[in-house]
A and B are shown apart, each in its own frame.
Chain A
Amino acid sequence: MSAEQFFAELRRIYPADRLLTGRAQLAPYESDGLTSFRARPSGVVLPETQQEVIDTVKICHKYEVPFLARGSGTSLSGGSVPIEDGLVIALNRLKRIIRYDAEQRVAVVEPGVINTAVSERAAVDRLYYAPDPSSGPVCTIGGNVAFNSGGAHCLKYGMTSNHVLGMKVVLPDGTVEQLGSDSLEGSGPDLTGMFIGSEGLFGVALEITLRLLPKPEKYYTLQAAYDSLEKAGTAVAMVVASGLLPGAMEIMDRLSMDAADAAIGAGYPKDAKAVLIVELEGTSDEVEAEKPRLHKVIEESGAYIIEAARDDEHRLKIWKGRKSAFSAVGRLSPDFIVQDGVVPRTKLGHALKEIDKLSEQYGIRVANVFHAGDGNLHPLVMFDGRQPGGLEHAEELAGEIIRLCIRLGGSITGEHGVGLEKRAYIGEMYGEDDIEFMQQLRRSVDPLELANRGKKLPSAEAPALTSVGAHPLEKQGIISRE
């Protein structure tokens, strides 16, 4: 069977404006947030109904054409880079909130719904959808599900999988199934949990049932400056030991502060080596009671400036500085790689020292921004892609950082996923048998390996590294990396 027949069948579903095959039309779909990777699909379809998605998957299966389901393409691990000559199923038009039930605190959404749109819908009832990746205003729930996305508030509330109760999915051969339900409690194996974070390898989510939480009544955010990165790390351990459970704890190093200062004039203390952001949240009375305790811990931790958010506006300013750090690094360097390793929290200080050493050894600047509360590091490895070998040299350093995380008993990815970028390392985190087992699971679900082929698991196929630089949306300041 030929490509012509394949496209002829697709044309029976899609009018010309929803089946893209022209060179220029395909260009926007060649890459994602990890711009180092690029591949050209044979076509892009823009389904508007779930049935169109199902039919498309069936046609792909019939003609054995690999496919990639895609949201807004904000993946930082190359998860939504297409398969060379495969089909892209762009889900952005499936953006209905099918059910919103405040009393039951659930929303059922289609995969193309934007992350923050859920909280916007629920705001009238003072409810919200907790996972808050930095790309929230752009990224889709379907993408969040595929990559089990995180955010700054994972310490207390977990990642995407902790907020999805059930899903309607289409498996890679076109079988449609309901996993889980709309209850917080399940029966039988947690198939929803297994599907989430599978990076598209198990199929496409068509309807996702989300758990909504009451919005915290009060936030209390403070920013503390330290004369060493180590002291900031120790402060995190001290907050944890105090029995407080902040919604978020974030650390930025000097280089990230410089970047944020340059980009948005964040105004960090000039001589600080690190700033720590801690955010308490909850009922106002509880937060009031926790405040003095937090201040005591932070004072004892050796912070030399402690600045508490006076009001909402001030709080947002503090967060803006933090969230701008990634794209702001673009001001210090033409290109950079975002890492996403996790180390046990108690080894944060050690990990940072090692990264510093590596940075010197390689002669490459590395800025550090991280979710300190859960040991999730985001080293930003800076390089100039126009220099011959610049990218390769930076990738080598990035690889060393990943291996460091594995050695310290952590993970190669906290929230960005393996995608294309970290496939070479997953085999170092898990044993050979474990990887083989995962391969078998994948092949059992998808014997033809059609769904998002070449991602997550080690594989021979990989698109070439062809270009570098910031994501187009990033350049416009629409998205930022976390």
Chain B
Amino acid sequence: MITPETFDELQQAVRSVDRVRVRGGGTKNVLSADATISTEKLSGILEYEPSEYTFTALAGTPLKDIAAALAENGQFLPFDPPLVEAGATLGGTVACGLSGPGRFRYGGLRDFFLGVRMVTGDGRVVFGGGKVVKNAAGFDIPKLVVGSLGRFGVLGELTFKVFPAPATWTTIRAEFPDFKSANAAMIRVAMSQEEVYCLDVEPTGAVSIRIGGLGDAQAVRTDRVRSLLDGAQVEISTGEAEQQLWNDIREFRWVPNGHSLIRLPLNPGQVETAEKLLAPQAGPRRYSVGGNLAWIAWSDSAAADSLLTACRELGRKPLPLIGNWSGGVPSAEAGGAFETRLLDIFDPQRKGDLVPS
């Protein structure tokens, strides 16, 4: 594995390898196990101007460092990335297109990613997007590489938009007698004007709702959210315990040993069907982002094919991230003509393909 320390070295590295496979923090072993290039030494925040709401950092910068720098100025990453404490990097998070539960409020990683300097699969340095919060010039290359799993090349320098962090957080966890009523409550909250940050449902019938904002309003806002919950039993958390609750969710501490972690996009109308399909064999799972995303723990002893079949029935492509997964990476399969024609320019030799086409 080559570990470049400068942008030039990164370019050299891409040109010198036959297969472009990148490892950042190595937190998603399914995708980085056979890496040929490490971004470990391409780390650091290059520019951060709090009053601009933007920063630029190298791809190998750990999210932890970024979160800390932002927190010092009362700001945060509104897309709420996972695996921060585990050591995930900015570049890896972009390549996998990962946002966390808090993306429900303002948008996902794609919505906060403004500019990129990267090395294409054929070793060219390209800049796309901009460094200001608003820009309509050029093709939106930053968006293209979100979730691309390194297939267009290696990310070098990334510019993001950030927001001021809410002063206080409150989480309301409601227990419903069954999944169906929990799911109905989730939809009610999603359609309400309560502007919640996180909205997650668990198969047990638990709904977790996170609100944020000024301390003065939290008590009233909590009551208003409760009024949407049909008198369900609720537990309210604030302060450090509340932070810990969401940290544990984002760090996937709920995934048992001997399980792989799979990410699966959904739409809220599919959640009940997904649960029916998954329940017989899946391990613990969460329906996050108001029913737009499932995180699934899949036991090593269960057949990967059963999960793949369920995903196909839902018309969705799963992305395995962590564990001894043996079912391939459907999210990395070749797409249609538009994608192919773009790849023909970015990576004509398909050095970055995970799945041989």
Task: Give me the interface of A with B, judged by CB distance under 8 Å.
Answer: 101-106, 125-127, 147-148, 150, 154-159, 161-162, 169, 171, 175, 177-179, 181-198, 202, 214-217, 237, 240-241, 243-245, 282-283, 285-286, 288-290, 293, 340, 342-346, 371, 374-376, 409-418, 422, 426, 429-431, 433-434, 437-438, 440-441, 444-445
Contact = CB atoms under 8 A, between A and B. Distances in A.
Contacts of A184: 103-104, 108, 265, 289-290, 292-293
B144 A183 contact: no
A98 B342 CA distance: 29
B137 A194 contact: no
Interface of B: 49-54, 74, 97, 99, 103-104, 106-108, 110-111, 120, 124-128, 130-149, 151-152, 163-165, 167, 187, 190-195, 213-214, 216-217, 220-221, 224, 265-269, 289-290, 292-293, 315-319, 330-333, 335-339, 341-342, 344-345
Contacts of B268: 103-105
Counting chain B CB atoms within 10 Å of each CB, the highest count among A103, A156, A182 belongs to: A103
Counting chain A CB atoms within 10 Å of each CB, the highest count among B106, B133, B214, B216 belongs to: B133
A431 B143 CA distance: 20
A189 B336 contact: no
A194 to B, nearest CB: 4
B110 A190 contact: yes
A345 B52 contact: yes
26 contacts: A103-B191, A104-B269, A154-B134, A157-B106, A157-B107, A162-B111, A177-B338, A182-B267, A184-B292, A185-B103, A185-B265, A187-B147, A188-B147, A190-B144, A190-B148, A193-B144, A198-B140, A202-B338, A237-B51, A243-B164, A289-B213, A344-B54, A409-B131, A411-B130, A422-B137, A437-B120
Contact of A433 (B125, B137, B148): B125
A282 B192 CA distance: 12
Nearest to B317: A187
Nearest to A155: B133
B342 A286 contact: no
A444 B144 contact: no
A418 B216 CA distance: 45
Contacts of B316: 181, 183, 187
A183 B138 contact: no
B191 A105 contact: yes
List 8 tightest A-B contacts by C-beta distance, closest first: A193-B143, A189-B148, A185-B265, A411-B135, A184-B292, A194-B144, A285-B217, A289-B217
Contact of B292 (A150, A185, A193): A185
A189 B147 contact: yes
A245 B147 CA distance: 28
A376 B193 CA distance: 29
Contacts of B224: 283, 285
Contacts, number: 277
B263 to A, nearest CB: 8
Contacts of A429: 130, 137-138
A426 B345 CA distance: 20
A353 B145 CA distance: 38
Contacts of B133: 154-155, 342, 345, 374-375
A233 B149 CA distance: 41
Contacts of B344: 444
A413 B136 contact: yes
B143 A194 contact: yes
A185 B195 contact: no
B132 A102 contact: no
Contacts of A148: 136, 140
A5 to B, nearest CB: 27
B291 to A, nearest CB: 8
B138 A186 contact: no
Given A184-B290, A187-B316, A429-B138, 14 more contacts: A102-B191, A186-B110, A190-B145, A194-B140, A215-B193, A216-B195, A282-B195, A342-B133, A345-B133, A409-B131, A411-B130, A413-B137, A417-B136, A429-B137
Contacts of B335: 188-189, 191
Contact of A240 (B51, B97, B132, B140): B51
Contacts of A283: 193-195, 217, 221, 224
A290 B330 CA distance: 46
Contacts of A155: 133
